[in-house]
């Protein structure tokens, strides 16, 4: 089977220890072995979320986690404010509408971060607003939103909960839920956790959790009151995703062995390194508010972005993502999460260089490939 260096903003390269854990023989989820794994994973997630509250492990992709936050808190007719700054903001807005919320939105131009004052003004004018929804990182543009500032504003409204889609942020950068005052936070396995797609992680603040009994949205699979009761007995309510949870425990071990501060610094360092070298090649950042978890890079106008991304995959074995909607064919999105190696990252920059040379791009033509390879290696030794 052909293998790829998966440098997308999720899914990502699996850590070899995780890959090994994924190939272990099956065990049943009602066994003492699995009970221990589940307990360790649930405890470790609290550390990543920086919360004293329970963190749930759901057998769903990240979107299921977003839905779980909504159905456990929302009642039809509730006033919701959604920050829409790209595709994932649109998704959460649409989801809230499906569940009967009265949704207002603040539209942020793609590539920009929300100005916190806009939320402040909205809340002052709409004191009945019950939820503010925002991505921490809007993966379609690569923007990092000022979550701490937003949380500080929303905290002033005791009846309003701040729900954050941290799917491309949790585990890549600090989002201390309790300290900042985030009321609902969701993460996804195929991002900074270096796991396959298929798990999401959600946590509620005390304030949010108190709302779950009043919430009138019908829910069954995602009724997390039942899951909480099962977790308190050391179990999951439905069958557990044994293989993924077992790999999650290994992922958390890897992160804690390294230390979260060091891990976040490494994600940030790869982001800066990638952007610096891409800039030399003539690929500037699409946003001046980039998240450490991914870089969105603008392709020269004469380059067909769809073909470029395809060539990178077919000729060089590297998977990155292109743009969506208005950015289709115009940008590359490169993730800085998952298992990254020096060789893999040098190969990425050299491959981008090769493709830009083939397109006669001036900045690439000005760089000698042999010299570039040496400079890249030196930059990683420094």
Ligand X SMILES: Cc1ncc(COP(=O)(O)O)c(C=O)c1O
Of 60-68, 112-120, 143-151, 152-160: span binding ligand X (CB under 6 A): 60-68
Task: Tell me the three state secondary structure of residue 202.
Answer: strand
Q: Is 67 in the site for ligand X (CB under 6 A)?
A: no
Using CB under 6 A, pick the residue from 88, 157, 180, 193 that binds ligand X. Answer: 88
Closest distance between ligand X and the C-beta of residue 257, in Å? 26
Tokens 């986690």 -> residue = 65
List alpha helices for 54-175, DSSP H: 62-73, 87-98, 116-125, 147-154
Rule CB under 6 A: choose which of 44, 62, 305, 322 binds ligand X. Answer: 62
CB of 169 to ligand X, least distance (A): 8
Considering only 165-173, 259-267, 311-319, 362-370, which stretch makes contact with ligand X by CB under 6 A?
165-173
What is the spatial distance between Cα 60 and Cα 356, in angstroms, rounded to a whole number? 39
C-alpha span between 299 and 278 (Å, rounded): 10
Closest residue to ligand X using C-beta atoms: 62
Q: Kindly write out the interface string for residues 118-147 of this chain, putting x where it contacts ligand X by CB under 6 A and - elsewhere.
A: -----------------x---x--------
* Nearest distance, CB of residue 9 and ligand X, angstroms: 7
Q: Is 188 in the site for ligand X (CB under 6 A)?
A: yes
What is the total count of residues that contact ligand X (CB under 6 A)?
12
| Least CB distance to ligand X at residue 202 (A) | 12
The H helix count followed by the E strand count for the chain is 15, 15
Q: Is 10 in the site for ligand X (CB under 6 A)?
A: yes
> Does 193 interact with ligand X (rule: CB under 6 A)?
no
Residue 181 found at the interface with ligand X (CB under 6 A): no
C-alpha 262/C-alpha 327 separation (Å) is: 33
Query: With respect to ligand X, which residue has the nearer C-beta, 10 or 116?
Result: 10
* Distant-in-sequence, close-in-space partners of 365: CB < 8 Å, separation ≥ 6: 357
Distance CA 382, CA 378 (A): 6
Contacting ligand X (CB under 6 A), which of 51, 168, 319, 361? 168
The C-alpha atoms of residue 147 and residue 255 are separated, in whole angstroms, by 23
CA 58/CA 200 separation, integer angstroms: 5
CB neighbour class for 93 (10 Å; exposed up to 12, middle 13-18, buried from 19): buried
Q: How many CB atoms lie within 10 A of CB 30?
A: 11
Sites of contact with ligand X (CB under 6 A): 10, 61-63, 88, 135, 139, 165, 167-168, 188, 197
């Amino acid at each position: 089977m052909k293998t790829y260096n998966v440098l997308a903003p999720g899914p990502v390269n699996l850590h070899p220890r995780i890959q090994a854990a994924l190939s272990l023989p099956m065990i049943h989820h009602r066994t003492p072995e699995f009970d221990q794994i589940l307990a360790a994973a649930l405890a470790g997630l609290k550390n990543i979320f920086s919360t004293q509250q329970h963190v749930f492990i759901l057998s769903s992709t990240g979107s299921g986690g977003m839905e779980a936050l909504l159905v456990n808190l929302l009642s039809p007719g509730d006033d919701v404010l959604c920050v829409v700054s790209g595709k994932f903001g649109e998704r959460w807005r649409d989801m809230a509408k499906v569940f009967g919320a009265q949704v207002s939105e603040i539209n942020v131009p793609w590539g920009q971060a929300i100005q916190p004052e806009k939320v402040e003004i909205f809340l002052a004018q709409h004191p009945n607003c019950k939820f503010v929804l925002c991505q921490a990182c809007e993966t379609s543009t690569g923007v990092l939103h000022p979550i701490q500032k937003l949380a500080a504003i929303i905290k002033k409204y005791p009846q309003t909960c701040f729900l954050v889609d941290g799917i491309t942020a949790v585990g890549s950068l600090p989002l201390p839920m309790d300290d900042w005052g985030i009321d609902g936070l969701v993460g996804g396995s195929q991002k900074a956790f270096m796991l396959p797609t298929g798990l999401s992680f959600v946590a509620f603040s005390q304030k949010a959790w108190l709302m779950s009994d009043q919430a009138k949205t019908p829910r069954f699979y995602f009724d997390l009151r039942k899951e909480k009761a099962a977790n308190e007995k050391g179990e999951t309510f439905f069958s557990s995703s044994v293989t993924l949870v077992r790999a999650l425990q290994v992922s958390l071990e890897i992160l804690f062995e390294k230390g979260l501060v060091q891990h976040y610094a490494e994600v940030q360092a790869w982001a800066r390194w990638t952007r610096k070298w891409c800039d030399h090649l003539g690929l500037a950042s699409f946003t001046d508010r980039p998240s450490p978890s991914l870089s969105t890079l603008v392709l020269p106008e004469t380059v067909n972005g769809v073909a470029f991304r395809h060539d990178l995959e077919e000729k060089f074995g590297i998977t990155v993502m292109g743009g969506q909607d208005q950015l289709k064919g115009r940008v590359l999105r490169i993730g800085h999460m998952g298992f990254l190696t020096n060789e893999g990252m040098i190969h990425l920059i050299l491959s981008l260089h090769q493709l830009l040379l083939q397109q006669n791009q001036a900045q690439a033509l000005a760089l000698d490939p042999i010299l570039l390879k040496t400079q890249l290696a030196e930059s990683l030794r420094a």
